[in-house]
Structure 1
Amino acid sequence: MPRPQTPGGVERSRLRSLAAAFTSLTAMIATSLVAGPASADSAAGPCALARTGAHHSEGVDSWNAAYSRPQGRLDAVMVFLSFPDSAPDATPDELAADYFPDTSGFFRRASYGRFELRAHPVRTWVKMPRASGAYGIERDWDPGLRTKYLSDAVKAADSRVDFSRYDIVYLIADPDAPGVDSDATKVVNFARPLLADGSALRRIVTVFEQHPPDRNVLAHETGHVFDLPDLYKRPQDGKGDWDTHVGDWDLMGSQFGLAPEPFGWHKWKLGWLDRHQVGCVRRGGTSLHSLTPLTAPAAAPGADDGERLLVVRTGEAAALALEVRENRGNDSGTCTRGVLVYRVRSGAASGGGPMEVLDGHPRTSACRESSVYPPLADAPLGVGERMTDRASGVAVEVLGTDSSGRWTVKVTRP
């Protein structure tokens, strides 16, 4: 496991094969990646959807080894970039505090303590050779200008950072530079890995957020580093509502969401839920299930933690997922609670609707003052409520809760 450098950095050798490495940047695409090798997970179970060739596929039967898996400890370097046309108003330490320890805490809670993200800020500004406006920084970035930005940034930082020591690279631009556009924050993937200090950089998180930044924005972008897709719906013309697929549920839908806890399906994918915590409905008929709330603390070692995710396989690449969401932990901001039901499609690419929350209360809304999409803020079913998924015919009814806090759900499958 990589370990941090001495604070402030030490002189390092220049990037190996730098010219050849950056030639590969011309083939770089910000939202796609050549599929990496799969690492099979035989313990996934019969309700696991197969990983497909879709970008950030929601398949959970194997792991794409091209991505770091967030288990144990991962180390991230934070490089702060300034520009010759602007003197920074904030210090690197102030900007680092915008993101950490909050981002580490988010993942610690979401993973039940199974994953630790450690940040290592370079505590001085790294000066870029060109003015901020020279790079044309914007959401849909010109690939050539983006290549220039990344090339300059890595070369400028190389004397202070040994990239081989880190699992994740965050490049954080001076938020007050005139050419910086906060809408350009994203993960940049390389069609061919970039070699830096003998290490293959497969992706870099480019951060252009204002100070202070959007809530949970770095956790959202880091989710992409772990092969999680965008769950929002991007309108064709860039106008309209982006949050109709999942609303506030899961930060991969919106970093502003009131209930940003990752879906149980994502926890399964990342290895934060074990097979015994995932229930599976394979046959037709009616069955009863007891669900532990997703944000409940992990049970003591050796104790029965119960199932936190229930999966109903509805097709070769489709499933219905059920989980209990309550207003605690990462979801402490939500105003509703209950059994959340959503569809999963492993063949849908990032941004193409791989998940869709089913609205348990289609005629009402909730959390109007703070929700990113109030019509789905009250999507969970309460005790005594029922819904039927029209696409699959699967019916879900919430029967009650017990003294341990678990919810009893009845599932009827045609």
Structure 2
Amino acid sequence: MSRIPHPEVDVPRQLPPRGLTRGGRNPRPWRDPRLRSTGALLTSLTALAATSLVAGPTTAEAAAGPCELRRTAAHHSEGLDTWNTAYPRPARTLDAVMVFLSFPDSPPLTTPEELAADHFPATSRFFEQASYGKFRLSPHPRREWVEMPRASMAYAIQRDWNAKRRAAYLRDALAAADPHVDFSRYDIVYFVADPDAPGVDSDATKVVNLDRPMRADGTDIRRVVTVFERHPPDRNVLAHETGHVFDLPDLYHRPTDGKGDWDTHVGDWDVMGSQFGLAPDLFGWHKWKLGWLESPQVRCVAAGAQRLTLEPLSAPATGGAVGGTRLAVVRTGPDTAIALEGRGAVGNDHAACTEGVLVYEVRNGTASGGGPIEVVDAHPETESCWGDSVYPQLADAPVRVGESFRVPGEDLRVEIDVEARTAAGAWTLRVAVG
């Protein structure tokens, strides 16, 4: 059964920076066709809209290798040659404040402590494991309820939220919280609504990016995570939403009619696809983008045949060092790449349905929600883990030991032979490109 994921609210409208073009879906056939301050605040909120800081400033970091894709103007572009400094980079400890909002029409039935425990320490633990200890998300939950000035029904909270109603909600939330919270101390803001209030819709949990930042305590607030979760909440939902704060895209597919499967692009294999996934650790490509994997852990595979060993992506660092190769990349075009990584039942992937070498395509010009990453199914005729997997058709996607697999495509031949698995759990494989 497919579960509906939580969206991020922002529709890019900025023009691309000079030298970049607005990205679209790459037509090359690399995927199998069978794959499925309060005063200042009032002024700044007059232009609040569901928009995003897409292009933003860039860092001056040099490219790490020939298999990097450039960052484009696509919203949450999967290009990683530069970092969009409009977003905080999770390479250090980041402080997050949780503000708990009640409503005059509904006395809370829970406490802030109970709601904070719904998300922490689980969310911090997810990122600590995903980052190999390089990033720490430090939560600072408030101990009291902050009452909103209007009844919960007045805001018409819903998944596809009216922009004016959403603006009113954020304006009221920040104005109510400002006397109690020094927002200058925090990198991330979570506004957590009373889950039992009658106007609260759990499907409306999302990140709101602001075209014009809100202003409080001398600091700009460019995005807010609005949390409307039930108690207890969906699994890993806050890890998914926080990923957007770090410029990661939605990887799920949203059907145009609201019906059908949402998880056809990546299935269980990244929390940015589904917070319910059996193997929700972030793709190696995302760990590279965020700086948790560096050049020594990434192998660029050029023309010809190479043998390599892939350590399990989710295996922890040893002695503070991320050992071995965790990601292999084949550049397939100016804006596309094929990525290979070993996925085993360890760390955030401890409940993985199957183990092996996962193959997926990356497109730097495809925007969030449009399929910037798609898993390539090495077993398109079979399925696994019915009743547990969000998309059983991709639950057995990895190439297993003893199997050979040719990545579908016409312009470049990429063949993978998974030869063995070491006693320590790494996969040895041969990759032929040409």
**TM-score w.r.t. structure 2 length?**
0.89
Amino acid in structure 2 at the alignment position of 1:322: L
Residues 158-179 of structure 1 show CA distances to partners (whole Å, capped at 9, x for unaligned) of 0000111000000000000011
- What is the 5 A alignment of 1:186-197? 186-197=206-217
Q: Could you list the structure 1 runs, at least 4 aligned residues long, displaced by more than 4 angstroms after superposition.
A: none
Of 14-23 and 36-45, the range deviating more from structure 2: 14-23
Which of 364, 379, 386 is the equivalent residue of 1:368?
386
Structure 2 residue runs of 5 or longer lacking an equivalent are 1-36
Q: Which residue number corresponds to residue 188 of structure 2?
A: 168
- Alignment partner of 1:51: what SS? coil
Give me the whole-angstrom Cα distance separating, in 1, the residues matched to 2:66 and 2:413: 20
CA contact 1:44–1:60 (8 Å) conserved in 2 = no
Q: Which residue number corresponds to residue 50 of structure 2?
A: 29
Structure 1 residue runs of 5 or longer lacking an equivalent are 1-13
Q: Which residue number corresponds to residue 324 of structure 2?
A: 306
Residues 207-242 of structure 1 show CA distances to partners (whole Å, capped at 9, x for unaligned) of 001000000000000000000000000000111000
Give me the whole-angstrom Cα distance separating, in 2, the residues matched to 1:241 and 1:233: 8
- What is the 5 A alignment of 1:251-262? 251-262=271-282
Q: Which residue number corresponds to residue 128 of structure 1?
A: 148
Q: Which residue number corresponds to residue 381 of structure 1?
A: 399
Q: Which residue number corresponds to residue 9 of structure 1?
A: none
Give me the whole-angstrom Cα distance separating, in 1, the residues matched to 2:427 and 2:355: 11
- Alignment partner of 1:364: what SS? coil
Which of 199, 217, 230 is the equivalent residue of 2:219?
199
Of 155-164 and 387-396, the range deviating more from structure 2: 387-396
Amino acid in structure 2 at the alignment position of 1:356: E
Amino acid in structure 2 at the alignment position of 1:206: T
Q: Which residue number corresponds to residue 119 of structure 1?
A: 139
The reply on whether 1:279 has 2:299 as its aligned counterpart is yes
CA contact 1:185–1:207 (8 Å) conserved in 2 = yes
Residues 7-31 of structure 1 show CA distances to partners (whole Å, capped at 9, x for unaligned) of xxxxxxx435223212231xx215x
Which of 123, 126, 132 is the equivalent residue of 1:106?
126
Amino acid in structure 1 at the alignment position of 2:41: L
Higher relative contact order (CA 8 A, sep 6+): 2
Q: Which residue number corresponds to residue 20 of structure 1?
A: 43
Give me the whole-angstrom Cα distance separating, in 2, the residues matched to 1:50 and 1:68: 19
Aligned residues: 396
Shift, 1:304, TM fit: 7.8
Which of 368, 371, 381 is the equivalent residue of 1:350?
368
Go from structure 1 to structure 2 and tell me whether the alpha carbon gap of 1:129 and 1:304 turns closer, same or farther (over 3 Å shift): closer
- Alignment partner of 1:122: what SS? strand
Amino acid in structure 2 at the alignment position of 1:217: V
Give me the whole-angstrom Cα distance separating, in 2, the residues matched to 1:43 and 1:413: 22
Q: Which residue number corresponds to residue 291 of structure 1?
A: 310
Which of 323, 326, 330 is the equivalent residue of 2:341?
323
Shift, 1:267, TM fit: 0.3
CA contact 1:75–1:166 (8 Å) conserved in 2 = yes
Give me the whole-angstrom Cα distance separating, in 1, the residues matched to 2:98 and 2:322: 39
Q: Which residue number corresponds to residue 10 of structure 1?
A: none
CA contact 1:334–1:367 (8 Å) conserved in 2 = no
Identity across the alignment (%): 64
Give me the whole-angstrom Cα distance separating, in 1, the residues matched to 2:422 and 2:41: 61
Q: Which residue number corresponds to residue 28 of structure 2?
A: none
The reply on whether 1:94 has 2:114 as its aligned counterpart is yes
Give me the whole-angstrom Cα distance separating, in 1, the residues matched to 2:154 and 2:219: 29
Shift, 1:40, TM fit: 3.1
Amino acid in structure 1 at the alignment position of 2:308: H
Q: Which residue number corresponds to residue 416 of structure 2?
A: 396
Q: Which residue number corresponds to residue 96 of structure 2?
A: 76
**Aligned-pair RMSD on alpha carbons?**
1.2
Amino acid in structure 2 at the alignment position of 1:362: P
Q: Which residue number corresponds to residue 33 of structure 2?
A: none
Residues 325-364 of structure 1 show CA distances to partners (whole Å, capped at 9, x for unaligned) of 0011111111210000000001000000000001111111
Give me the whole-angstrom Cα distance separating, in 1, the residues matched to 2:77 and 2:197: 36
**TM-score w.r.t. structure 1 length?**
0.94
CA contact 2:42–2:171 (8 Å) conserved in 1 = no
Residues 120-153 of structure 1 show CA distances to partners (whole Å, capped at 9, x for unaligned) of 0111100001111111100110000000000000
Shift, 1:33, TM fit: 2.7
The reply on whether 1:341 has 2:359 as its aligned counterpart is yes
Give me the whole-angstrom Cα distance separating, in 1, the residues matched to 2:54 and 2:44: 16
Go from structure 1 to structure 2 and tell me whether the alpha carbon gap of 1:304 and 1:212 turns closer, same or farther (over 3 Å shift): closer
Shift, 1:43, TM fit: 4.8
- What is the 5 A alignment of 1:207-218? 207-218=227-238
CA contact 1:185–1:206 (8 Å) conserved in 2 = yes
Give me the whole-angstrom Cα distance separating, in 1, the residues matched to 2:433 and 2:133: 35
Which of 51, 60, 67 is the equivalent residue of 2:87?
67
